[in-house]
Amino acid sequence: MKKTALLSVLLFAVLSLSFAAEVCFSGETSFSGVLSVPPAGDPWKFTSATVKQTLELDVYGENTDLYVNGGAEYEALGSEVTAFLSEAYADYFTGRFAFRLGRQKASWGTSEIMSAVNVITPSDLSDPVESSPLAIDALKLSYDAFPYSFDFYFIPFFTPSTLPQSVLDMYSYYGIEITKPETKLENSEAAFKGSAYTSAGDFSLYGYWGWEDIPNMAGEYERLVMVGASAAVPVGEVTLKGEAGWYPERDEVISASAGVEWIKNDLTLTGELYGVWNREDKEITGQAGAAVNYSLLEGDLEISAGGILELKELDGAVTAGATYSFTDELKATASAVFMFEGVNGTGTYGAYKELDSLRFKAVYSF
């Protein structure tokens, strides 16, 4: 079935190409390293050193677009090479309708730090500190009647989140096999987003029917249903943001966040509160997050800092970093991540103290 889908994408791509007028080719080479902060007395050591080559092809015509983003990554410490295909899709636009078929990424919600509704794509959690969204293999139909727009997704192939090696080792230790839902029509996922972009603000409704992207303790992926909403309302110099999601299949039945963002010239400040209502425990657990981003030296240097605080145990994580652009093509980043255990030493973030690290990255793009 996946082969048929792939052939369909290729056929669509060939059709796109036949109408194409422009071809853009670009890429990025990056070197990154993670230096773990050891417990007192232990030596410092690199826990990751990678070279990543990404290539990007964009072929487009008046009403069509073919986009491919993929490459390979070499992990020097494990001498392991991994090829990846981040995105590969074909677009067709006609009037108010747009179709996108293939491997694609999407993002839901208005939150910058902790989202209550962004369930449309799974995540690459192999490095939990720098988790990133993964693409889904889907057909997306969009209808645009500005100020309203509607997106419908049909996702025939389930894509789970990529788990950290330590979690995979735990499943393996207990002899638990992780099993994905069988690929068949009734196991397909579907999603909907409807938005209104008005003078007063942006308002969206979301619906998702699919699977949790992280397995339960039995190694199975459970059904996930979500109905949510988000808003972004500009008020003077700030934008107020809010999200709420209802998850009837989960014990943590309601998630919600509220935040504010202030942008002035080269400075961006963001503050957010995030809460989850657990119907079993009948309690709300909350987190607070903040981020600051400032650009200086005529934009050559960008410094950023952020943090998350769990409001019950007062545990959390802080990050700080700086990126310097030597040229338009070459930039380097240094950052630090630290977890803290909170008042009782039992907080969730404190359990990940081994993620305390200094991180370095150099990127050359062309």
Residues lying near another protein in the complex (CB under 8 A): 22, 26, 28, 60, 65, 67, 91, 93, 95-96, 98, 100, 105-107, 110, 133, 142, 144, 146, 149, 195, 197, 199, 201-202, 232-239, 261-266, 298-300, 328-329, 331, 363, 365-366
Angstrom distance (rounded) from CA 140 to CA 117: 18
Q: How far is the CB of 96 from another protein (least distance, A)?
A: 7
- Of the pair 130, 202, the CB lying nearest another protein is at 202
DSSP letters, 254-275, are EEEEEEEEEEETTEEEEEEEEE
- Of the pair 109, 156, the CB lying nearest another protein is at 109
Q: How far is the CB of 174 from another protein (least distance, A)?
A: 36
Angstrom distance (rounded) from CA 92 to CA 20: 11
Q: How far is the CB of 69 from another protein (least distance, A)?
A: 11
337 C-beta neighbours (distance < 10 Å), count: 21
25 C-beta neighbours (distance < 10 Å), count: 10
Q: How far is the CB of 363 from another protein (least distance, A)?
A: 8
- Of the pair 126, 149, the CB lying nearest another protein is at 149
End-to-end CA distance of the chain: 37
Q: How far is the CB of 209 from another protein (least distance, A)?
A: 21
- Of the pair 111, 255, the CB lying nearest another protein is at 111
Task: Name the E strands within the chain.
Answer: 20-36, 45-61, 64-75, 80-94, 97-104, 123-124, 132-133, 136-145, 148-157, 189-197, 202-211, 223-235, 238-246, 252-264, 267-278, 283-296, 301-310, 316-325, 330-340, 357-365
Angstrom distance (rounded) from CA 341 to CA 348: 8
- Of the pair 124, 356, the CB lying nearest another protein is at 124
- Of the pair 162, 365, the CB lying nearest another protein is at 365
Q: How far is the CB of 97 from another protein (least distance, A)?
A: 10
Query: Could you tell me which of 92, 126, 88 has the C-alpha nearest to residue 105?
Result: 88
Angstrom distance (rounded) from CA 152 to CA 258: 26
Q: Is 54 in contact with 72 (CB distance < 8 Å)?
A: no
Q: How far is the CB of 133 from another protein (least distance, A)?
A: 7
- Of the pair 35, 362, the CB lying nearest another protein is at 362
Q: Is 308 in contact with 288 (CB distance < 8 Å)?
A: yes
Q: How far is the CB of 74 from another protein (least distance, A)?
A: 21
- Of the pair 244, 363, the CB lying nearest another protein is at 363
